[in-house]
Amino acid sequence: MRRDIVKSDEYREFVGKLKAEIISARQKAYQTVNKQLVELYLHIGKGIYEKVEISDWGEGVVERLSIDLQREFPYMKGFSVQNLWRMKQFYETYKNNEKLSPLVRELSWTQNLMILHHTETIEEKEFYLKTCISENWSKRELERQIDSSLYERFMLSKKADKLIPYTKEKNILAHFKDEYVFDFLGLKDDFSEKDLRKSIVGNLKQFFLEFGRYFTLVGDEYKVTVGNEDYKVDLLFYHRVLKCLIAVELKIGKFKPEYVGKMQFYLAAIDEKLKLNDENPSVGLILCKSKDEEVVRIAMSKTVSPMKIASYKTKIIDQKLLKQKLHSLPLPEPEGYEEN
């Protein structure tokens, strides 16, 4: 072998391609094994269901089955009594649901158990199954979204959207939530707008999990010059689906009507000085600690630029309160959180 070949760009490119192929093959192998494992657990769950519920063998057979399977397959985990009952429950939950049965095969057993045990209705399960697949969440990311009540927040936002007549602008704003949870920022109770902005920039990975995978950060305190003055947008993003710039203003208090005028100025300046010819008009997002819906409605009634007023929490929202609010309203069917 030539001594200089390993130092060449050609060799590094060759090794890089092989690494990518190995990683891809390992991922495909994992997905195949995972799908077969979930298929196996569904089959075992079906068998237990039929023997216990239909053939009336009695619940004691599950304990005996656990002993026999662990003795026969000592190298395989997952045949404990508790896990066998989980398989039965797993099968029972989805056995007559042709829409969801294929989806559970796309997730790991751990993810499926999380959705199975930490959601209540079949609509909520459908939401997390679809969203976990589309967003390619890890176990930890799925757990965080369930803990932060993403389903309840998303459905409440959908309900609010139904009150607004359909427009092109409304379709654009469907890509934004009505309320965000920034529990991962670790902010103290008396944080400033500067603290909030710096914490977001310093925790972008978690922020995009909450904000949406199609957002790309352009810059923070992004300078836009108008006349002889410089104006700074708290956060400027680009949205790959909407193909437009997103200006975000961060407020540590309650929404005030004057925020709308300031945002309209920013959007007009961004469109004139930053927007490319093939990009869509910029969108504004004002994030406030709280908001009065009537004040928001009147303040937004004469706006010409697409704009969303959303609230945020820095701690996990009480899920019970959200569920009570959710169940008190007629809601649209869940579709999975694919807008972001």
Domains and CATH numbers, the chain: 5-147 (no CATH), 165-316 (3.40.1350.10)
- Kindly report the length of the chain: 340
pLDDT for the residue 322: 65
pLDDT for the residue 160: 52
Mean pLDDT, the chain cut into blocks of 10 residues (340 residues total): 71 83 77 84 94 87 92 88 95 92 92 94 93 88 88 73 46 80 82 90 82 87 94 94 94 94 96 94 94 91 89 76 62 50
pTM of the model: 0.63
pLDDT for the residue 16: 85
pLDDT for the residue 165: 42
pLDDT for the residue 132: 92
pLDDT for the residue 318: 65
pLDDT for the residue 330: 55
pLDDT for the residue 134: 86
Residue 137 in contact with residue 145, Cβ under 8 Å? yes
pLDDT for the residue 230: 94
